[in-house]
Structure 1
């Protein structure tokens, strides 16, 4: 099992200056290597007997500057620019690997037959991290962490590293309030989930915008609406930035205040998600939820509220915490969850404005969100899992993905 823990760093002035220098050099290296691959691709994108529909270089075609060629060319970079010799080799190689991943995502489509956009030029405010791909197990001693070619940096160990985990990588991240280190930890053991789970400790949850979630036991969690409540402060800070002269020190200070505000709101949302997930996992062994198309919902008129609630982030956190605790999460197809009666199974059409479920056949009446949560629980419990793959959560630039439990009727 692989997990990640983030800790605050307290570098001295010399170490902080070295962090800044490395980030600047790595940003320039990324901006240099990125067009090498894309220029080659555009020059060879059309057959020799056809004209490209877009403008491209007329220079002679050369060998593809792929990942291995660019790695080897780092020797020439260090000779031409001696400053790069002071950067650890693993950090430089990881920069080349990022270019390769960006190029592959642009060329190859994903499972949904969609490719990502072309990676753009990284400005000074768009390159915030670098990674050591290997770390020694005794790199943390007391309140210090040893970073190769940088030295011992003070670290705030606000929570201990779990027993049995080995440190694999370390990513230095620059945030609005300073530097952080994200440690990737690995444990060879796999949590064991008992197939004979306690049916009394199963719950279905229904995500909403009136309440953050409703459980099948009629418990509700109110939605905090953190971004909406902070909207006035955000507007004032943005106005302050717009009134300052570009590239001035006062504008830089105003931008920093805005960044800290955004970081605070994001941290509040993350804290709310983790505490809510812990409350669910302390009470239940199996959690069922709707496998919603959140990206599709985020394109509707409810986009602002959905992004403020953070459904995807919360479900990814629940899945990751359940995996660590040896518990289970089941994603249920959302078809008919809201419309069907949880008692009789009859389809009772409802509009979004209709918040009450009333079945004319069995007389079952309750809140529509609780009815949906009961439907989720019934499907999660009443079906036999054929292929169970645990849901996992990702640690990079704020991105989250999950794998669904596939089920069929027993």
Structure 2
């Protein structure tokens, strides 16, 4: 099992300057390696299937890849000795980032989706560096030892669980300071509860009127953090727009705007963690719709959908459930709002109709509650017409659930 713990760093001024120098050198190396990839790609491809009789042929060379570019690092340190101050594995990680960006541009990811053309990083745009491995016992109190960088102070607000090993450390510069993300691994795999043994399953229907409504009728209100902060963000944005480019006042306004946006994002993320903890502490199985969030983000509801952060919430829910040995099931959302959860008949209704009233069996309920029940029935493999299946009916008990931590 792999998890990520993030801590805020308390760097000295000397350490901040050194870290900024490392990031700037890595940015230059990233741009150089990316330019080398582009040069080879332009000189060794042809958009037509024939060449003129007289043409210029460049000097052919092997295609640059991760291993060939990594072999240029020793020569880089000889030509530019100041690169020798950076840890070798950090430089290798920079090569790996270039290779990954170029592969996703040409071939795509594991699902075949191609990314856009990689761009050169401007000044200040290279914000993170990764140590692929740390030494033995890198944490001592609230101090973290980074290879070739030294001990750094961090706010150690939660300890690493026993049995976990620290695999990598990523230093990231954000709007309000520097953070370290520790990737930890535990080889033990939690035992997943079988579907037929879960106790108190629940179905949830995500929405914009309420953040989610459970199949038992309870709901979680939607906080709308971005909409509430819009006026303050617009005021700071106006100060950025009116200031002169390159001036110190503009830099201060941009930093202030970044902190304001980060506060909104952090508050939303904290809400998602707390909602996830409440769900998984009380239910062994959580069923939800398999939503096309990217498609919804291109509609008129884009601002509300992105403000709710459904994608982040479902990702946190799935990760936390897997770590605790619990279940999350994504079902097809087709007709979950139209079908009656009591008799299974289809009851057509428009989006403005918020009450489900079935003229076949007389069942009346809130539209979202009816949808949440249908989602639960699909998740446990029971048809919606099975009247004996109720949300409050347990499917079996497995004892006390493990406590979840954020």
Normalised to the residue count of structure 2, the TM-score between the two structures is: 0.90
State the distance in 2 between where 1:115 and 1:307 align: 23
Q: Which has the higher contact order (CA 8 A, sep 6+)?
A: 2
Q: Is the 8 A contact 1:198 1:285 kept in 2?
A: no
Residue 163 of structure 1: CA displacement? Answer: 1.3
The corresponding residue for 2:41 is: 41
> Shift of residue 207 of structure 1?
0.5
Once the two structures are superposed, what CA deviation does each residue of 1:101-143 show, in whole Å capped at 9, x if it has no partner? 0011011134554311011111123211000001124000011
Q: Is the 8 A contact 2:165 2:184 kept in 1?
A: yes
Aligned length: 380
2:72 alignment partner, SS class: helix
Q: Residue 169 of structure 1 aligns to a residue in which SS? A: strand
Residues of 2 paired with 1:137 and 1:349: CA distance?
63
Q: Which residue number corresponds to residue 122 of structure 2?
A: 123
Give the drift of 1:41.
1.8
Which residue does the alignment assign to 2:366?
367
Distance in structure 2 (CA, Å) of the matches to 1:153 and 1:109: 38
Secondary structure at the residue paired with 1:331?
Answer: strand
Question: CA contact under 8 A between 1:237 and 1:254: conserved in structure 2?
Answer: yes
2:65 matched to which residue of 1? 66
Q: Which residue of 2 aligns with 1:391?
A: none
Q: 1:196 to 1:300 in 2, by over 3 A?
A: closer
* Equivalent residue number for residue 255 of structure 2: 256
* Distance in 2 separating the partners of 1:98 and 1:86: 20
Q: CA deviation digits over 1:336-368, x for unaligned, max 9?
A: 111111111111122221111111101111111
Distance 1:264 1:66 in 2: 40
Aligned to 2:377: 378
Coordinate RMSD, CA, aligned: 1.8
Identify which range, 120-129 or 270-279, moves more after superposition. 120-129
- In 2, are the aligned partners of 1:237 and 1:258 still within 8 Å (CA)? yes
Q: Distance in 1 between matches of 2:161 and 2:7?
A: 14
What residue number does 2:387 align with?
Answer: none
Say which is worse superposed, 127-136 or 91-100, in terms of deviation.
Answer: 127-136
User: Does the Cα contact within 8 Å between 2:175 and 2:262 map onto a contact in 1?
Assistant: yes
Moved more, 375-384 or 225-234: 375-384
**Distance in 2 between residues matched to 1:323 and 1:75, nearest whole Å:** 43
Check the 8 A contact 1:225/1:308 in 2, yes or no: yes
Alignment match, 2:20: 20
1:353 alignment partner in structure 2: 352
Q: Is the 8 A contact 1:136 1:167 kept in 2?
A: no
Q: Which residue of 2 aligns with 1:211?
A: 210
Matched-pair contact (CA < 8 Å) for 2:193–2:327: no
Match status 1:147 vs 2:184 = no
How does 1:326-341 map onto structure 2 within 5 Å?
326-341=325-340
Task: Indicate the residue corresponding to 1:185 in structure 2.
Answer: 184
Counterpart in 2 of 1:390?
none
**Deviations 1:199-227 (CA, angstroms, capped at 9, x unpaired):** 54100011100000001011100000001
Aligned with 2:329: secondary structure?
strand
The verdict on how the C-alpha distance between 1:331 and 1:261 changes in structure 2, with shifts beyond 3 A counting, is same
Q: Secondary structure at the match of 1:378?
A: helix
1:2-401 alignment runs, 5 A limit: 2-46=2-46, 49-50=49-50, 59-110=58-109, 113-195=112-194, 197-382=196-381
Aligned to 2:401: none
- Could you tell me whether the CA contact under 8 Å between 1:133 and 1:168 is conserved in 2? yes
SS at match of 2:337: coil
Q: Contact 1:203–1:217 (CA<8 Å) still a contact in 2? A: yes
- Partners of 1:349 and 1:369 lie apart in 2 by 14
- C-alpha displacement of 1:383: 5.6
Q: Within 1, Cα distance between the matches of 2:196 and 2:135?
A: 39
Structure showing greater radius of gyration is 2
Distance in 1 of aligned mates of 2:111 and 2:137? 43
Aligned to 1:401: none
| SS across alignment from 2:184 | strand
In 2, Cα distance between equivalents of 1:299 and 1:134: 40
Show CA shifts across 1:116-173 (max 9, x none): 1011111123211000001124000011111111111111111111111000000001
Structure 1 distance, partners of 2:345, 2:45, is: 56
Contact 1:8 1:179 in 2 (8 A): yes
- Secondary structure at 2:71's aligned position in 1? helix
Whether the 8 Å contact between 1:197 and 1:285 is mirrored in structure 2 is no
Runs of at least 5 residues in structure 2 that lack an aligned partner in the other structure: 384-406
1:333 shift after superposition: 1.1
Q: Which residue of 1 aligns with 2:399?
A: none
